[in-house]
Amino acid sequence: MQLHPYSYSSNNTGQVMNSLKRMFFRKRVKPLVALLAMRKLLKDPDDTRQVFKIIDALSGDVIGRTVKRLADNATGRDLLAKKPNIVTLLNDSERLSAMPLGSIGHTYWQFIHAQNLSADGLIASSEGTKEYVGFTADERWTGNRLRDIHDLQHVMTGYGRDPVGELSLLSFMTTQVPNRGIDFIIKIATHKYQQEIPSLDIQSLLHEGRKIGQEAAWMPTIRWEERLTESLEDVRTELGFKAPVKYKSSHINQPELFATT
């Protein structure tokens, strides 16, 4: 017996309900949660957990859109199929430190050890935010991937972990992967800089971050696991990562604004 075109079998009904559930959890925006987290972040800029809470509260369907973009090209589809776990490699200090001097992997190792960081630290900071309820395996992997390559983005762009460097990197990130949560953080921080440190041309630095993000290759679709032993400068040139000249100039001319805590 054929089903009426507007009726559903129990199996189809379940699929539709699961799809609606995923849409609800992905697209739900929580402005009050974001505002509360922003207040806490302004009081303690080192509280990384609040950054993840803000992004989670306002990001909407950013992960779903990223999965679709990955699925649009062969490399992205292969990454989605294989789902490599880059955290294991990024946490392998012995292996990274043994990579050639000047390579992406060795530079990453120098960066995280100078700052006393780890890839696991990003995971710990994100705990208590999005649990990916109702998400597909592709979406969960993509969400984790975007989080796990954060410090790798520092290395590729040349932005430091000082407040200005982090904000400039966020400008790069939301250009590569548009995210309303990150846009909100940038807007609030920009206003704060303009009010408290008008001598710093923060808009120019953010514009530079956006420009680098526009011209560079899309980071989520790069097989970073296979490129860590390659020369950082060569890969930057190949993938179109321009140096943040204005950021580095400001770093030299106004060093007091770039101190990390």
pLDDT per residue as tens digits for the range 207-237: 999 999 999 999 999 999 999 999 999 999 9
pLDDT score at 89:
93
Backbone angles phi, psi at 231, to 5 degrees: -60, 125
The span from the CA of 179 to the CA of 181, in Å, is 5
The span from the CA of 66 to the CA of 140, in Å, is 11
Cα dihedral value 224, 229, 234, 240, nearest 10: 10
pLDDT score at 164:
93
Q: Mean pLDDT across the chain, nearest whole number?
A: 82
Closest CA to 206 of 180, 236, 178, 173: 173
pLDDT score at 126:
46
Give the start-to-end residue ranges of the domains of the chain. Answer: 10-258
pLDDT per residue as tens digits for the range 61-92: 889 999 999 999 999 999 999 999 999 999 99
pLDDT per residue as tens digits for the range 102-137: 999 999 999 998 877 655 554 444 455 455 667 899
- Which has the higher per-residue pLDDT, 33 or 85? 85
**For residue 183, what are the CA distances in angstroms to 32, 138, 143, 242, 245?**
16, 25, 18, 22, 22
pLDDT score at 27:
54
Backbone angles phi, psi at 98, to 5 degrees: -85, -5
Q: 239 in the Ramachandran plot: left (φ > 0), alpha (ψ -120 to 50) or beta?
A: alpha
